[in-house]
Chains A and B, each alone.
Chain A
Amino acid sequence: MITKIQTYISQAVNPYHNLAVEQYLLEHVEKGCCILYLWQNQRTVVIGSNQNAWKECRVTALEQDGGFLARRLSGGGAVFHDLGNLNFTFLVREEDYDLERQLQVIGTACRNLGIQVEKSGRNDLTVDGRKFSGNAFYHSNGYAYHHGTLLVQVDTEMMGKYLVPSKAKLESKGVKSVKSRVINLREVAPGLTIDCLKKELLSAFSQVYCLEPESLSADAFDEEIIEQYFRRNQSYEWKYGRKIPFTWERDKRFPWGEVQIQCEVNQGIIEDILIYTDAVDCEFPAAAANVLQGCRFYREDLEIRLARLKMEESMKRDILELLTE
Chain B
Amino acid sequence: MGKYEVKLFPSYSEDNLWVRKMPDGSYKIGITDFAQQQLGEVNYIDLPEEGDSITKGEVFGSIESSKAVSDLIAPVSGTVSEVNEEAIDDPAITNRSCYDNGWLIAIEPDNWDAEVAELMSADAYKAFLETQE
Q: Is A149 an interface residue (CB 8 A)?
A: no
- When distances are taken between beta carbons in the complex, the residues of chain A under 8 Å from B65 are 75
- When distances are taken between beta carbons in the complex, the residues of chain A under 8 Å from B68 are 74-75, 136-139
A76 touches B71 (CB 8 A): no
B71 touches A48 (CB 8 A): no
Distance, CA A106 to CA B71, complexed state (A)? 26
A48 touches B59 (CB 8 A): no
Q: Mark B65-79, 1 if CB is under 8 A from A, else 0.
A: 111111101000000
Q: Mark B36-76, 1 if CB is under 8 A from A, else 0.
A: 00000001101000000000000100101111111101000
- When distances are taken between beta carbons in the complex, the residues of chain A under 8 Å from B71 are 139-141
Contact count band on A = 20 to 34
Question: Of B59, B64, B66, B73, which is within 8 A of A50 by CB?
Answer: B64
A123 touches B66 (CB 8 A): yes
> Within A232-259, which residues are at the interface with B (CB < 8 Å)?
243
B9 to chain A minimum Cβ distance, whole angstroms, is: 26
A175 touches B43 (CB 8 A): yes
B67 touches A123 (CB 8 A): yes
For the complex, would chain B's binding face be called helix, strand, loop or mixed by DSSP majority? Answer: strand
Distance, CA A138 to CA B64, complexed state (A)? 9
A135 touches B67 (CB 8 A): yes
A22 to chain B minimum Cβ distance, whole angstroms, is: 13
Q: Mark A121-152, 1 if CB is under 8 A from B, else 0.
A: 01100000000000111111100000000000
Distance, CA A140 to CA B46, complexed state (A)? 14
B67 touches A139 (CB 8 A): no
A173 touches B44 (CB 8 A): yes
A68 to chain B minimum Cβ distance, whole angstroms, is: 21
A229 to chain B minimum Cβ distance, whole angstroms, is: 15
A136 touches B67 (CB 8 A): yes
B129 to chain A minimum Cβ distance, whole angstroms, is: 15
A121 to chain B minimum Cβ distance, whole angstroms, is: 9
What are 21 A-to-B residue pairs whose CB atoms are below 8 Å? A48-B64, A49-B69, A50-B44, A74-B69, A75-B65, A76-B67, A122-B66, A122-B67, A123-B66, A123-B67, A135-B67, A137-B68, A139-B68, A139-B71, A140-B70, A141-B59, A173-B44, A173-B88, A174-B44, A175-B44, A243-B46
